[in-house]
Amino acid sequence: MEKQIKSEENCSKILFKDFCEKLQKMEGLNSASSKLKLIFNREMKSIVAGQSLFPLLRLLLPINDSERHKYGLKQVTVAKAYIEALQLNKQTSKDAQRLLHWKDPTKISDLATGKVMSGDFANILEDVLNSRVQHEPSEFTIGEINLLLDDLADAVGERAKTEVIRTRILTKFNAKEQAGSFVSVFVTFLI
């Protein structure tokens, strides 16, 4: 007997900005059950209407996604890709230095407040991007994001990956979407 595959159409149509909002709300929650309830609530059940949640789960649990290749991107590689994409000078740009030395508190300080800011690559990237990218959230769907991430995973070599970031991510997503969501997917989980 053949197994019937559920459609992913409804889940794939969920807006990425809505997914990002839920991730941001999850940051303030401590318990796993609260986080699960936030994502898998009545509204989600209504939207998906019995169809597959696979497109959403690929973004939530990328380490368990056996269909997508690993990205081969660590924070330093991502930092270099953004430095090149933003055309920052590695030696003279304070923002380039902040990205490259994100772990070292002696080399990173927030220029606006003077406070030391280190250890959280996503926060530093978001801060660097804030004045350089669009402020409005994207209108991409989860399905489109998964296709984009497939292309990033399939890109061969650092230069090809940088090109995907420069042409398809940097110009199309706000700082929060790029730093909070993309970085958590392709760096934190899939090194």
Owner of token pair 């090109």? 163
CATH superfamily of 8-191: DNA ligase, ATP-dependent, N-terminal domain (1.10.3260.10)
Structure tokens at 184: 């958590």
Confidence at residue 141, expressed as pLDDT on a 0 to 100 scale? 96
Structure tokens at 85: 């994409």
Query: Over the chain, what is the mean pLDDT?
Result: 83
Confidence at residue 162, expressed as pLDDT on a 0 to 100 scale? 87
Confidence at residue 189, expressed as pLDDT on a 0 to 100 scale? 39
Distances (CA, A) of 119 to 29, 67, 107, 180: 21, 31, 11, 14
Which amino acid is it at 171?
A: T
Confidence at residue 29, expressed as pLDDT on a 0 to 100 scale? 85
Q: What percent of the chain has pLDDT over 70?
A: 83
The closest alpha carbon to 181, from 134, 146, 131, 133, belongs to: 146
pTM value is 0.81
Confidence at residue 128, expressed as pLDDT on a 0 to 100 scale? 94
What are the b/e assignments for 130-165, b being 16+ CB within 10 Å? eeebeeebbebbbbbbbebbeebbebeeeeebbbbb
Cα–chain-centroid distance for residue 188?
A: 9
What are the domain boundaries of the chain?
8-191
Confidence at residue 105, expressed as pLDDT on a 0 to 100 scale? 61
The per-residue pLDDT string of the chain (191 residues; one tens digit each, 9 = 90 and over) reads 556 677 999 999 999 999 988 888 888 888 888 988 988 999 999 999 999 999 999 888 877 777 777 776 778 888 998 999 999 999 999 999 999 998 876 655 555 544 445 668 888 999 999 999 999 999 999 999 999 988 988 888 888 988 988 899 998 999 989 887 766 665 443 33
Q: Which residues, in sequence order, are CB contacts of 155 under 8 Å at separation 6+?
A: 161, 163, 164
